[in-house]
Amino acid sequence: MSSPPGRRARLSSPGTSHQPPDAREELRRRLKDLIEGNRVMIFSKSYCPHSTRVKELFSSLGVDYNILELDQVDDGASVQEVLTEISNQKTVPNIFVNKVHVGGCDRTFQAHRSGLLQKLLNEDSAHDYDLIVIGGGSGGLSCAKEAANLGKKVMVLDFVVPSPQGSSWGLGGTCVNVGCIPKKLMHQAALLGQALQDSRKFGWEYSQQVKHNWEAMTEAIQNHIGSLNWSYRLTLREKGVTYVNAYGEFVEPHKIKATNKKGQETFYTGSKFVIATGERPQYLGIQGDKEYCITSDDLFSLPYCPGRTLVVGASYVGLECAGFLAGLGLDVTVIVRSVLLRGFDQEMAEKVGSYLEQQGIKFQRKFTPVSIQQMEKGSPGILKVVAKSTEGPETVEGVYNTVLLAIGRESCTRKIGLEKIGVKINEKNGKIPVNDVEQTNVPHVYAIGDILEGKPELTPVAIQAGKLLARRLFGGSLEKCDYVNVPTTVFTPLEYGCCGLSEEKAIEVHKKENLEVYHTLFWPLEWTVAGRDNNTCYAKIICNKFDNERVVGFHLLGPNAGEITQGFAAAMKCGLTKKLLNDTIGIHPTCGEVFTTLEITKSSGLDVTQKGC
């Protein structure tokens, strides 16, 4: 029985055959990766009859093979030149079997007749797997599935160490289980509560008291998450990826120890490794934090309503959780050590905070907890929190049912044996430095996702990076993950979407005198009849005056900001300018159309408040 047609390798190449030395070295490395990463690698031309004969031979032997058609890549001439330097052969087909150069058509058939070809084919990899991925989150699964699509033998190791409160979850990582997915669903639950209030103004009449059932909500959300966990396991099985629910730890450069929940150890070897272990919430390191506090690891599956809640930290996680808890009718306080939404545009961050205060959330600024004491047990219990000022000796006390910590996340890189194989990490934060192809200082070990030094900690970034990494390692691609102009949204009750630079960062990069900032407050049509404030929603773009007024920062505070920002992010990838926005006809009546009519600049000092519709 013959094998499926050979898998086609992808190899993009910049420019002409007269390449600069760096580009040529990059091409050489990619070709070597193809040769070393595939059992049978055929460099061919689609119209060559000798190439066709070789492909038919391997198919008749039932041997899968990878092909790179030199007449179908951007720079086949350069590829063939570098291939000649590697193999001393100028013609195609040019065949490698298990890293050994066999030669062209005639020499391959000679090797087949003499038995040498079969011997080479039997000398398969000395390792159990072509690729072992440590971490079954969004990035790890993306990389594993793409590598399997390219014909590689792949294993995924995933193990959730229970939180101090005992919470754990299934395959899929933070986003699916304790991050983006349950967060957005609880955000939606809170928005439905606001919609109920607005509905009376639109003529809806209902007499019974409307209340929220926490247990019904969490059960429905956990059921949905469970279905996603199952679908991920099924997809891995369909693609032939080996999934092991065990904790992975390096013991040798190409060998890992996998420990399951019963403590049983198994060892596996791999040619290449991808670390995609993600992060977990940090704790305060004070009396009572791990004993009595919860984090986002626990909140979304909490079996009881949290009641009066103190959120410690004003990160996007903290403010999102505070927002939907308040939206569900709970008494919420946020304690803030320094600024809101560190790393985001601070004007926008303060507007987010102002809206949260309007929704009844209380802020304690410039304080940090120093002790947490349990007053009463229960579900929820009663906790006393003592907090100290960051600016003096003042202390305050408060009594809460639940304390939710959202003070940052820590990379899961310190207990996976990286020191045994020499992979460097930033000792301060556990992040892994990599080059522009996600490669660590150990050549066969790569890293993706939230554990990377200086890269956005976002699920879609990890997914893209993982997919492109697999294509570079096993498909001959040169495409790298673009970490510039990555859009994101903070799902507070009034959403904040952004793409590109904050105003502070834009000034640092481009200088204030080179920038023009266009902005306005606006009143969504849906808010008018509902009687909601007409000067809360805000739009802002930051333009580089000396680059055609190219938009370098996009910021929106308003309903559905995530949906709106996604579209403008694509435009920014295409080089969006203020003129292009002016030339775009808006969709009326929408919130997004406000960006097509921006006229007032900050430098003009003109008022942007709305006087009417």
Same domain, 32 and 66: yes
Q: Is residue 93 part of a domain?
A: yes
* 424 lies in the same domain as 445: yes
List the one residue out of 188, 193, 186 whose CA is nearest residue 211. Answer: 193
State the pairing for strand pair 402-405/309-312: parallel
- Looking at 95, 122, 149, the residue that finishes a domain is 122
Residues 234 and 110 in one domain: no
Q: Are residues 184 and 87 in the same domain?
A: no
Please identify which of the residues 127, 212, 254, 588 carries the catalytic annotation: 588
Of 302-306, 409-413, 609-613, the one with minimum mean pLDDT is: 609-613
Quick one: which of 528, 497, 498 has its CA closest to 613? 528
Give the pLDDT score at 13: 44
Question: Based on the domain organization, do 312 and 379 belong to the same domain?
Answer: yes
Q: Calculate mean pLDDT across residues 498-520.
A: 98
Q: Any residues with CB less than 8 A from the CB of 382 and at least 6 apart, and which?
A: 374, 375, 376, 399, 400, 401
On whether residue 10 sits in a domain, the answer given is no
Phi, psi (5° rounding) for residue 341? 50, 60
Q: Does residue 402 sit in the same domain as residue 414?
A: no
Last residue of a domain, one of 88, 122, 156: 122
Mean pLDDT for all residues in the chain: 94
Residue 375 inside a domain? The answer is: yes
Model confidence at 499, pLDDT cuts 50, 70, 90, reads: very high
- The pLDDT, as a whole number, for residue 59 is 83
| Residue pair 95/54 in contact by the 8 Å Cβ criterion | yes
Cα(341)–Cα(344) distance, integer angstroms: 6
Q: Give the C-alpha distances (Å, rounded to integers) separating 202 from 409, 494, 526, 530.
A: 43, 20, 10, 7
Task: Between 30 and 323, name the one with better pLDDT.
Answer: 323
CB 175 within 8 A of CB 183: no
Assess whether 425 and 527 both reside in one domain. no
The pLDDT value given to residue 335: 98
The number of folded domains in the chain is 4
Distance CA 466, CA 458 (A): 13
C-alpha distances in Å from residue 272, one per residue of 129, 163, 172, 256, 269? 8, 30, 22, 11, 9
The pLDDT of 242-262, averaged and rounded, is 97
Query: What per-residue confidence (pLDDT) applies to 4?
Result: 43
At 533, which CATH number? 3.30.390.30
Which of 373, 389, 406 is the last residue in one of the domains? 406
Alpha-helical (H) ranges within 102-137 are 105-114, 116-122
Residues 110 and 155 in one domain: no
For residue 601, the cross-strand partners are: 518
Same domain, 232 and 270: yes
Backbone phi, then psi, for 267, in 5-degree steps?
Answer: -115, 140
Q: Is position 559 within any domain? A: yes
For residue 15, what pLDDT band results from cuts at 50, 70 and 90? very low
Q: Is 588 a catalytic residue?
A: yes
- Residue 124: what pLDDT? 58
pLDDT digits (tens, 9 = 90+) for 579-602: 999 999 999 999 999 999 999 999
Report the Cα–Cα distance between both ends of the chain, in Å, rounded: 72
Burial track 135-144 (b if 16+ CB lie within 10 A, e otherwise): bbbbbbbbbb
> Pseudo-torsion of CA 364, 369, 371, 374, nearest 10°?
50
Does residue 583 sit within a domain? yes
Report yes or no on 7 lying in a domain.
Answer: no
Range of 564's domain? 494-604
To the nearest whole percent, how much of the chain has pLDDT over 90?
86
pLDDT tier for residue 553 given thresholds of 50, 70 and 90? very high
Please check whether residues 269 and 295 belong to one and the same domain.
no
Residue 388 resides in a domain: yes
Residue 489 lies in a domain: no
How large is the average pLDDT for residues 18-37?
83
What is the reported pTM?
0.84
| Residues 449 and 465 sit within 8 Å (Cβ to Cβ) | yes
Pair 143, 276: CB distance under 8 Å: yes
Q: Are residues 398 and 428 in the same domain?
A: no
Let me know whether 262 and 351 are in one domain. Answer: no
CATH number where 354 lies: 3.50.50.60
